[in-house]
Amino acid sequence: MIKIKNLSKLYQTKTQSVQAVDDVSLTIDKGEIFGVIGYSGAGKSTFVRLINRLEEPSDGSVVIHDKDITKMQHNELRNKRQKIGMIFQHFNLLWSRTVYDNIAFPLEIAGVPKAKRKEKVLELINLVGLSGKEENYPSQLSGGQKQRVGIARALANDPEVLLCDEATSALDPETTDDILDLLVSINKKLGLTIILITHEMHVIQQICHRVAVMENGKVVESGEVLDVFVKPQSKTTQRFVQQLNPLEHDKNNLAAFINDRDDTEVVKVHFIGNSAKRALISEVSKKFDVEINILQGSISPTQEGAYGTLFIEVNGDNAVIKQSLDFMQNEGVEVEVLKHV
């Protein structure tokens, strides 16, 4: 378990002070994939570098498996860092070394004997799907392959924690999905705790169990990914969620679909888990004397189950519309009536 308490980082220059991280407290469970999301300048990259003390905190503590990183002296910290792997947005590979040698590098530094190094490197090459690329140089690899080398290198010393700082930002969407699938596989096979920094909501949606949202150095919201998706509280979180629902993002587009009638309601319906696979709209149409027009809908998988959002227009008698919406809520879906769109 990782316990982060009152963590802060203040940068002081001759002309100004910048509070990059401001009194952040989080608990991250062993073996989970924890996401930290924020827009540029939110402080998320500084935050992740404070966890392994690549940046020195101004205040607060980081405790990993009952060991306070912030109180460690140089030699103890160096040994502890071997158990904290890190991968980067731009790979940070050694361009004069082959795939094999890049992955072997941290093992060399740790003083692992040559025979054991070879065994470990070949195991990792197979784990990340790079068999046959051992003698290739980084310049001969695609972006996704370079990041796989970075992941293998980060795993070389059997870390307890893997820090991912915008690990997919430089990749195309298909390659991003491949890398995210690899991280999930590693998480399950090795029971590895992963802290993932990103500005992309679909990355959080796809692999994270819980998420913290940062703005101006502070955590403005945190919780289970499904809870954050369904009930975003802060304006920053709402902006991220809107990226996945274009009609919600542009209420003018939504208004273009709506009949300007007193007997019409426009409703946003959230489906979670098994309810996302249920033909509830069909049931409502058969059970109640209402007409339902689907404006937009999507279902997205998360690590905790499916999550769906549906925008519908419901036409009919006001009393019957209310009955149909009450029925949907009683069936376990969340219903939000958009009175003024």
Q: What is the pLDDT of residues 87-124, one digit of tens each?
A: 988 888 999 999 999 999 999 988 999 999 999 999 99
Whether residue 88 is found in the same domain as residue 218: yes
* Confidence (pTM): 0.84
Query: Could you tell me where the beta strands, DSSP code E, fall in 78-192?
Result: 84-88, 161-165
Structural domain ending residue among the three candidates 242, 268, 288 = 242
Cα-Cα-Cα-Cα torsion 258, 263, 269, 274, nearest 10 degrees, comes to: -130
Q: At 208, which amino acid appears?
A: C
Structural domain ending residue among the three candidates 222, 242, 262 = 242
Whether residue 163 is found in the same domain as residue 312: no
Structural domain ending residue among the three candidates 242, 257, 292 = 242
pLDDT confidence band for 228 (50 / 70 / 90): confident
| Residue 209 to residue 187: CA distance in whole angstroms | 11
Tens of pLDDT, residues 118-166 = 999 999 999 999 999 999 999 999 999 999 999 999 999 999 999 999 9
Tally of structural domains, the chain = 2
pLDDT for residue 46: 95
Whether residue 28 is found in the same domain as residue 102: yes
Whether residue 207 is found in the same domain as residue 283: no
| Residue 311 to residue 99: CA distance in whole angstroms | 49
Which residues are CB-contacts of 282 (< 8 A; sequence separation ≥ 6)?
none
Whether residue 226 is found in the same domain as residue 303: no
How distant is the alpha carbon of residue 178 from its chain centre? 15
Q: How many CB atoms lie within 10 A of CB 110?
A: 12
Domain CATH for 281: 3.30.70.260
DSSP 292: E
Q: Is the pLDDT of residue 232 over 80?
A: yes
Whether residue 286 is found in the same domain as residue 222: no
% of the chain residues with pLDDT over 90: 57
pLDDT confidence band for 231 (50 / 70 / 90): confident
State the residue range of the domain holding 178: 2-242
pLDDT for residue 339: 62
pLDDT confidence band for 256 (50 / 70 / 90): low
Domain CATH for 146: 3.40.50.300
Whether residue 160 is found in the same domain as residue 251: no
Question: What crossing angle do the helices spanning 173-190 and 143-154 adopt, rounded to 10°?
Answer: 20
